[in-house]
Amino acid sequence: MPTPPATGCGAAPVLKERGQREVFCGLTGIIWLHRKMQDAFFLVVGSRTCAHLLQSAAGVMIFAEPRFATAILEETDLAGLADAQDELDNQVAQLLARRPDIRQLFLVGSCPSEVIKLDLGRAAERLSAVHAPHVRVLNYSGSGIETTFTEGEDACLAAMVPALPEANAKSLLIAGALPDVVEDQMLGLLRAMGIEDVACLPARRAEDLPAVGPDTVVALVQPFLGETLAALTRRGARHIEAPLPFGDEGTTAWLWAVAREMGVDADTFARVTEAPRARARRAIAAASETLNGKSVFFFPDSQLEIPLARFLTRECGMDAVEVGAPFIHRAIVGPDLDLLPEGPTISEGQDVDKQLDRARAARPDLTVCGLGLANPLEAEGLTTKWAIELVFTPVHFYEQAGDLAGLFARPLRRKEKLRLEAAE
């Protein structure tokens, strides 16, 4: 199991910033959630801006009929709340009549729906009663006023928890959306250890929704699920604390925490993990040649920053200068913080101008940040990595560990190539 550093960042002071932030809103999560939940539909109650965000982020990926849409609130709706409710009921009725494959409908709040105080919770209850039992209607907010980028998934999963069936026996629940191929790899590893009965939230289909109860243990595969974990805990579930499954070390520690909880012996665990661990180590070593000895600076964006900094420093030989996260849920990222060697500034929240000054002063080899900051920083000669790619690319567990290191190595290699070409 991972050996913690002499002094980790678990007790390090946290620089708390509460200024302006530069991140996407929680609607972004719809892009990966609609692919994961195959019979769900996401109806954003929002403005043309929300529709544009979704279309531009996901437009190229839509080949069949999409499973998300935006019910546009016009300015006139501000005056007529009752009309807005009726309009929403009509749109939902038309949608469900046209799309009998929909089993879960999410009404997703946005900045405009918040501004006009449209009560989507009440609307979801009313519509659920009308369309039950075939369709369950739930709601959550993806508004940029309330949520950042990955909090949309957290809000969506947390909204599902109260409606989950009650579990009567010991059960293992894995929370966090993974691409199907990665989820299958994870389930294959657990099965090889003898852990057969594993439920996932979100499930691919409504009929496979997990049950939860006091004998449920839950492991998270994403660090941004604070609300979901709180909702599961309220249903009696117990959290298995572990580093997040990134890289060889994180994956092994995560799997071992789950295996131990489920009564798997050390020999079985070692036998199942030996070969994929060796593959992961080889793949990481290849990509790490570029990363070794380089410095990295994380702007807060996806909440993946702390586990990724742990991976890059301990497994790829990088030095972290600053690790910024929008929120730090210690119950979730505590084990990663303990493993992250002392040294970097740990910051929570954002005051973007001050943080830009710190990045400019440090001149890190690699800066991980949102799209809005990447271009200006590149123009100043810094090398950047878009944080959003880390959420859209399969990066969890052993078979993706090399790709994860490669995502960080690529911009550094590109920069080096350009430098060499310029020197010729």
Judged by CB under 6 A, the stretch of 11-19, 116-124, 137-145, 335-343 that binds ligand SF4 is: 137-145
Q: What is the Cα–Cα distance from 222 to 183, expressed in whole angstroms?
A: 12
Contacts of 218 (CB under 8 A, 6+ apart): 172, 173, 174, 175, 212, 229, 232, 237, 238, 239, 240
Q: Which of 45, 50, 257, 306 binds ligand SF4 (CB under 6 A)?
A: 50
Judged by CB under 6 A, the stretch of 46-54, 165-173, 187-195, 285-293 that binds ligand SF4 is: 46-54
Q: In whole angstroms, how close is the CB of 102 to ligand SF4 at the nearest point?
A: 22
Q: What is the Cα–Cα distance from 348 to 18, expressed in whole angstroms?
A: 8
In a 3-state reduction of DSSP, which class is residue 132?
coil
Judged by CB under 6 A, the stretch of 49-57, 125-133, 151-159, 306-314 that binds ligand SF4 is: 49-57
Q: In whole angstroms, how close is the CB of 142 to ligand SF4 at the nearest point?
A: 6
Q: Which of 43, 53, 177, 201 binds ligand SF4 (CB under 6 A)?
A: 53
Query: H helices of 211-297, where?
Result: 226-234, 247-261, 266-291
Q: Which of 21, 43, 45, 47 binds ligand SF4 (CB under 6 A)?
A: 47
43 binds ligand SF4 (CB under 6 A): no
- The count of chain residues that interact with ligand SF4, using the rule CB under 6 A, is 12
In the bound state with ligand SF4, the residue whose beta carbon lies nearer, of 165 and 372, is 372
In the bound state with ligand SF4, the residue whose beta carbon lies nearer, of 53 and 123, is 53
Q: What is the Cα–Cα distance from 45 to 96, expressed in whole angstroms?
A: 16
State which of positions 10-39 bind ligand SF4 (CB under 6 A): 25, 27
Q: In whole angstroms, how close is the CB of 262 to ligand SF4 at the nearest point?
A: 40
What values do phi and psi take at 335, rounded to 5?
Answer: -60, -35
Q: In whole angstroms, how close is the CB of 99 to ligand SF4 at the nearest point?
A: 23
Q: In whole angstroms, how close is the CB of 397 to ligand SF4 at the nearest point?
A: 31
In the bound state with ligand SF4, the residue whose beta carbon lies nearer, of 112 and 223, is 112
What values do phi and psi take at 35, rounded to 5?
Answer: -75, -30
Contacts of 377 (CB under 8 A, 6+ apart): 356, 359, 367, 369, 384
Q: What is the Cα–Cα distance from 127 to 163, expressed in whole angstroms?
A: 15
CB distance 73 to 47 below 8 Å: yes
Cis peptide before 133 (omega within 30 of 0): yes
In a 3-state reduction of DSSP, which class is residue 45?
strand
Q: In whole angstroms, how close is the CB of 94 to ligand SF4 at the nearest point?
A: 22
State which of positions 139-198 bind ligand SF4 (CB under 6 A): 142-144
Q: Which of 30, 77, 110, 123 binds ligand SF4 (CB under 6 A)?
A: 110
49 binds ligand SF4 (CB under 6 A): yes
In the bound state with ligand SF4, the residue whose beta carbon lies nearer, of 142 and 247, is 142
Nearest-CA neighbor of 102 among 160, 44, 40? 40
Q: In whole angstroms, how close is the CB of 48 to ligand SF4 at the nearest point?
A: 9
Q: In whole angstroms, how close is the CB of 138 to ligand SF4 at the nearest point?
A: 18
Q: What is the Cα–Cα distance from 167 to 160, expressed in whole angstroms?
A: 15
Query: H helices of 111-213, where?
Result: 111-115, 120-131, 151-160, 180-192
Nearest-CA neighbor of 153 among 226, 214, 94, 53? 226
Q: In whole angstroms, how close is the CB of 27 to ligand SF4 at the nearest point?
A: 5
CB distance 309 to 298 below 8 Å: yes
Judged by CB under 6 A, the stretch of 48-56, 84-92, 230-238, 254-262 that binds ligand SF4 is: 48-56
46 binds ligand SF4 (CB under 6 A): yes
Q: Which of 92, 96, 107, 111 binds ligand SF4 (CB under 6 A)?
A: 111
Q: In whole angstroms, how close is the CB of 32 to ligand SF4 at the nearest point?
A: 16
In the bound state with ligand SF4, the residue whose beta carbon lies nearer, of 112 and 245, is 112
User: Which helix H or strand E contains 219, and what residues bound it?
Assistant: strand 216-220
Strand partners, 345: 322
Task: Give me the residue whose beta carbon is nearest to ligand SF4.
Answer: 144
In the bound state with ligand SF4, the residue whose beta carbon lies nearer, of 14 and 57, is 57
Contacts of 180 (CB under 8 A, 6+ apart): 36, 204
Contacts to ligand SF4 by CB under 6 A: 25, 27, 46-47, 49-50, 53, 110-111, 142-144
